[in-house]
Amino acid sequence: MKRILLLGGVTEALAIARTLGPEHIYSLAGIGRVPTDLDCQVRVGGYGGAEGLAAFIRAEGIGLLIDATHPYAAQISHNAATAARMTGIGCWALRRPAWAPQPGDDWREVADWTELTRALAPFQRPLFTLGREPLQHLQEIPAQQFWTLRALETVPGNEHCEVIGARGPFNLEDERALFERRQIDVLVSKNSGSGATEPKLQVARERGIPVLILKRPALAAVTRSFDSTQALLQALVP
C-alpha cells in the first residue's frame, strides 16, 4: 500500500486514522485534541502552505494524500489539491454531504459576515455556532441584541455576549434546554453536515425559528471524492 498522509481534524478523519498502520501519518492543525492511541504516526502543525506540504510529501515518500478536513477548512483543502498536483500523487477527499432544509424550515443562506450582519438585524437573541469568528465582532453588537456564542473554548465575552465553551456531539435534550434557557430567536450555523451538531437544527425547527446558514466554501477539484467514510475505506482496500 502507498504511504498515506491523512489530513484530518474531524470525527470521520479520526475514524480513518484508526484503520491506518504505523507507516502512515495522520496530520492535525493543532487546534483540537491530539489522539494518543493510534497505530499510525500523528503529526501536529501546518506545513507552510502548498509548497511546504509538497516538500513534506517528497521528503516522506508519501504516495497518497487524503483530505478529510472540515468542509469549511478551505485553505488546507486547496493546499492539498495543489501539493498533490505538484508532486504527481493522488489526492482523495472525503466531502461530507451538506444538510438540507426540511419542509417548513426557514433557512437563509448568507455568503459572508456582511450579509450575516444584515440578516441578523431583526433578531435579538442569536445563538452563534460558527466557531471563533464572531469573537472578532463583539464591539459591533447592536444595543438591542444579546449574543450567545458557542466555541471550543470558553473565552471572555462582554455585556452583550456570553461565550460558552463546549465540544460536540450535542444531544437533542441539551440543545432544547439551551434554546429555552437563552430564549434564542435565531440560529447562526455553518452547513457542516455533521450528525454530531445536527440536533440544533431540529430544535430550531421545533421552535419555528430561522437559521442563518453560512454558505459552504468552494473546494478544489481532487482525484477522487467520497461522501462517506465507509466508501473511502473500501477504496483503500487493495
Q: Binding residues for ligand NAP, per CB under 6 A?
A: 7-10, 27-29, 31, 46-49, 52-53, 69-70, 72-76, 79, 131, 190
Residue number, 75 or 117, with CB nearest to ligand NAP:
75
Residue number, 69 or 148, with CB nearest to ligand NAP:
69
**Bridge partners of residue 187, in order along the sequence:** 127, 211
CB of 54 to ligand NAP, least distance (A): 11
CB of 159 to ligand NAP, least distance (A): 27
CB of 122 to ligand NAP, least distance (A): 26
Give CA angle at 73 (209, 187), nearest 5°. 10
Residue number, 177 or 221, with CB nearest to ligand NAP:
221
Residue number, 60 or 106, with CB nearest to ligand NAP:
60
CB of 223 to ligand NAP, least distance (A): 18
